[in-house]
């Protein structure tokens, strides 16, 4: 109990010593012309709806009917290949551009650069830059480009190492003024799962307050999140969020074709960060009953799961062949997906929708074994968003491995970008 109290006290000290930067002041609108500019109002913009159409297979296609619209995407960082949400933001912005929109990018807390960078309709503000200067520069960028809508791509840890970016709602408000806003919650808050420690719950409480302030302060027209659990949790706190599935973080190569399956070995592929809680014991035990040699390959940065990977290799090295490729180009990662039999996810089933690495595997037609189901939320049942392609580790695992069919690679980005634009118009 004493430990809980000390932890709470340290967090409360952090909260009380955190001050909104003095430079965060309301924007003064001097004239109706300035107000029109901040709102992106222009008579030359013709806005039509994005209407769903039914194709020959009976599924919905979204056809973009807007002639012109400007969207500013804001993220924490935009360093290519180093920040998952940054890569997502770049890809979504590029696809919206291909659909006829005019898009701009801004990073508010970029730790990968040392000085301000502005090129190709993007603005990157380094984390070392004083907040007052960042706000002033961001305001100028907004005023010069007068977007019709600002889309904040939010994950708590992009703006503060503990996810406690308490000043962020005021900062964003000061930068964008009265421009209509959209919020994509890549992460909601920690501590909502059953059995979460007291300290984690307290951090989560603060993160939840920040999200509420973002939604109200930005007067968001639309709120999106990537999975049903987050949508249910947000609903409990009075925030109506639509589900916008993630697309793959690795582009599918043109004319991509999967390699034929080798009947003499079972090749499993992992990509990117490994969750520190990952334990593959049940997965490996069940797969060894399959009767084939097993090869486990990893590509990309392992991140916080480095020690877990090393322990697993040491423990199973006599029974399973392990191979590690390290960081590679998107092209090589795409080829890797086409060369293995199954992907392996270390994200729990309940939150599988928030994994862009799993989305990348699915985009490449790769069936994915979900090796964790240990995170649960009170009153929210786990849902498998793609039961024909996401395979749970249970008594049916071997049968699924034998019978599941790999699909042809197909990028999901174009469809998801159309849904994104359609939801914005419908708001």
The string of pLDDT tens digits covering residues 5-30 is 445 545 545 554 445 555 554 444 34
Mean pLDDT on 280-299: 93
Same domain, 212 and 98: yes
Same domain, 192 and 294: no
Q: What are phi and psi of 344, to 5 degrees?
A: -125, 125
In total, the chain counts a number of residues equal to 427
Q: Is 39's pLDDT higher than 70?
A: no
Q: Please give the Cα distance from 63 to 57 (Å, whole number).
A: 16
Burial 49-78, CB ≥16 within 10 A → b, else e: ebeeeeeeeeeeebebebeebbbbbbbbbb
Higher pLDDT: 264 or 64? It is 264
The whole-number pLDDT of residue 256 equals: 78
> CATH code at 304?
3.40.50.2000
Same domain, 375 and 389: yes
Same domain, 83 and 230: yes
Q: What tokens does 383 get?
A: 């849902």
| Whether 182 contacts 152, CB under 8 Å | yes
Q: Is residue 260 part of a domain?
A: no
Same domain, 66 and 205: yes
- At 369, is the secondary structure helix, strand, or coil? strand
Same domain, 221 and 199: yes
The whole-number pLDDT of residue 14 equals: 52
- Consecutive H or E run containing 402: helix 397-403
Q: What tokens does 295 get?
A: 């090869």
Kindly report which listed range (53-57, 173-177, 267-271) carries the lowest average pLDDT score. Answer: 53-57
Same domain, 209 and 308: no
Same domain, 192 and 292: no
Same domain, 334 and 396: yes
* Torsion (CA) 293, 298, 275, 376 in degrees, nearest 10: -50
Q: Is residue 219 part of a domain?
A: yes
Q: What are phi and psi of 198, to 5 degrees?
A: -60, -45
What is the extent of the structural domain holding 373? 266-410
* Number of Cβ within a 10 Å radius of residue 308: 18
Q: Please give the Cα distance from 106 to 89 (Å, whole number).
A: 10
Q: Is residue 403 part of a domain?
A: yes
Same domain, 234 and 303: no
As for how many domains the chain has, the answer is 2
Q: Is residue 56 part of a domain?
A: yes
Same domain, 218 and 324: no
- At 61, is the secondary structure helix, strand, or coil? strand
Q: Is residue 13 part of a domain?
A: no
Same domain, 242 and 357: no
pTM (two decimals) = 0.83
């Amino acid at each position: 109990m004493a430990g809980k109290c000390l932890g709470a006290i340290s967090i409360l000290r952090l909260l009380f010593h955190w001050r909104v930067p003095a430079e965060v002041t309301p924007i003064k609108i001097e004239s109706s012309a300035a107000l029109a500019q901040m709102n992106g109002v222009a008579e030359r913009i013709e806005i039509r709806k994005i209407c769903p159409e039914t194709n020959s297979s009976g599924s919905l296609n979204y056809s973009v009917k807007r002639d012109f619209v400007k969207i500013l995407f804001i993220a924490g960082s935009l360093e290519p290949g180093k920040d998952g949400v940054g890569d997502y933001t770049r890809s979504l912005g590029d696809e919206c551009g291909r659909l006829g929109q005019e898009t701009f990018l801004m990073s508010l807390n970029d730790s990968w650069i040392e000085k301000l960078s502005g090129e190709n309709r993007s603005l990157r503000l380094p984390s070392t830059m004083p907040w007052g200067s960042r706000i002033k520069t961001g305001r100028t960028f907004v005023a010069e480009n007068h977007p019709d809508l600002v889309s904040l791509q939010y994950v708590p840890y992009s703006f503060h190492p503990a996810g406690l970016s308490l000043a962020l709602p005021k900062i964003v408000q000061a930068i964008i003024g009265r421009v209509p806003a959209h919020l994509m919650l890549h992460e909601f808050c920690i501590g909502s799962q059953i059995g979460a420690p007291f300290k984690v719950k307290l951090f989560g409480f603060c993160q939840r307050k920040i999200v509420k302030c973002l939604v109200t302060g930005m007067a968001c027209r639309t709120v999106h999140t990537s999975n049903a659990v987050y949508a249910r949790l947000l609903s409990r706190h009075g925030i109506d969020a639509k589900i916008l599935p993630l697309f793959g973080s690795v582009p599918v190569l043109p004319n991509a074709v999967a390699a034929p399956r080798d009947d003499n070995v079972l090749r499993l592929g992992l990509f990117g960060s490994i969750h520190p809680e990952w334990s593959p014991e049940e997965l490996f035990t069940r797969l060894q009953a399959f009767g084939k040699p097993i090869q486990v390959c990893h590509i990309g940065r392992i991140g916080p799961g480095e020690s877990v990977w090393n322990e697993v290799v040491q423990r199973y090295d006599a029974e399973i062949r392990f191979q590690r490729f390290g960081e590679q180009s998107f092209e090589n990662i795409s080829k890797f997906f086409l060369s293995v039999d199954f992907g392996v996810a270390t994200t729990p089933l309940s939150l599988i929708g928030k994994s862009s690495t799993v989305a990348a595997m699915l985009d490449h037609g790769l069936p994915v074994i979900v090796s964790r189901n240990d995170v649960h939320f009170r009153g929210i049942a786990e849902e498998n968003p793609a039961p024909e392609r996401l395979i749970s580790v249970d008594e049916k695992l071997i049968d699924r491995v034998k019978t599941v069919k790999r699909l042809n690679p197909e990028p999901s980005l174009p469809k998801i970008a159309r849904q994104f634009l359609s939801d914005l118009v419908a708001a």
